[in-house]
């Protein structure tokens, strides 16, 4: 199985308005690819198509040449943290993860392993509704790891994390890439992205306006934030 995420010539319309205009890019195995853009640029539409939550007008979005909807047990191939943890507030973390494990043919022993990875072992019996924003983020990452997947797609993964949590995430996501995982991140925290990304893809008004290795996209400009604003505010 190929190990890259490939977005190829994807077009999407909403009420006859072009949301995505023939976009193409790759996220490569063993690397962290940041997918950036202002609100309304097309990031969420792209990720929804990639994760099988929506369909494109044309083009393909694949994990190792396979579309998400073709995986019988998707968590064994793709781990994602997107649109929250989607669980009943009164349900315990352990019960929530048992349901997810069963639905994807994952052994229950994996539950304690992923909770330890994200430092939530002490919260096993806590109710979902009692978790802080940062704890919810960590749980979302734990869920993404349940099937030990090749592909990780994480949307705003550091939102709500305190400084120690952000430091933990930097180390964690680099370890995942070093293990050969294919990591695609979407975030508004540009300084954090600059600290972890290998490659960058910037989308604006439904079009890819820059892509490549981080240092190439930055072109000796002082910060990724400066590059981002230059590109998205009419500097090209």
pLDDT tens per residue, range 46-57: 999 999 999 999
Nearest to 201 by CA among 59, 31, 65: 31
User: What share of the chain in percent tops pLDDT 70?
Assistant: 98
* Residue 154 scores a pLDDT above 60: yes
Q: How far apart are CA 236 and CA 202, in angstroms?
A: 13
Q: Domain 5-87+150-232 in CATH: superfamily?
A: P-loop containing nucleotide triphosphate hydrolases (3.40.50.300)
List the domain boundaries for the chain. Answer: 5-87+150-232
Q: How far apart are CA 231 and CA 236, in angstroms?
A: 6
DSSP of 164-204: HHHHHHHHHHHHHHHTT-EEEEE-S-HHHHHHH-SEEEEEE
Confidence (pLDDT) at 127: 96
- 3-state secondary structure (DSSP) of residue 133: helix
Task: Kindly state the average pLDDT of the residues 77-95.
Answer: 89
pTM (2 decimals)? 0.93
Q: How far apart are CA 94 and CA 125, in angstroms?
A: 6
Q: How far apart are CA 162 and CA 82, in angstroms?
A: 20
């Amino acid at each position: 199985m190929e190990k890259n995420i490939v977005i190829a010539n994807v077009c999407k319309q909403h009420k006859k308005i072009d949301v995505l205009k023939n976009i193409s890019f790759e996220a490569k195995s063993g690397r962290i690819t940041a997918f950036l853009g202002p609100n309304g640029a097309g990031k969420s539409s792209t990720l929804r198509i990639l994760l099988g939550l929506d369909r494109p007008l044309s083009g393909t979005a694949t994990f190792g040449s396979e579309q998400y909807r073709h995986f019988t047990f998707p968590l064994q191939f793709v781990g994602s943290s997107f649109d929250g943890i989607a669980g009943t507030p009164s349900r315990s973390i352990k019960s929530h993860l048992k349901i997810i494990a069963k639905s994807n043919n994952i052994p229950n022993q994996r539950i304690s392993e992923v909770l330890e990875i994200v430092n939530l072992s002490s919260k096993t019996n806590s109710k979902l509704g009692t978790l802080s924003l940062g704890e919810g983020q960590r749980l979302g990452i734990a869920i993404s790891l349940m099937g030990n997947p090749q592909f990780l797609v994480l949307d705003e993964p550091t939102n709500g994390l305190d400084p120690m949590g952000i430091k933990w995430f930097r180390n964690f996501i680099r370890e995942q890439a070093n293990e050969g995982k294919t990591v695609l991140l979407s975030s508004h925290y540009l300084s954090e992205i600059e600290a972890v990304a290998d490659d960058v893809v910037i989308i604006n008004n439904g079009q890819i306006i820059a892509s490549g290795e981080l240092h190439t996209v930055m072109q000796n400009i002082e910060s990724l934030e400066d590059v981002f604003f230059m590109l998205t505010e009419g500097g090209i």
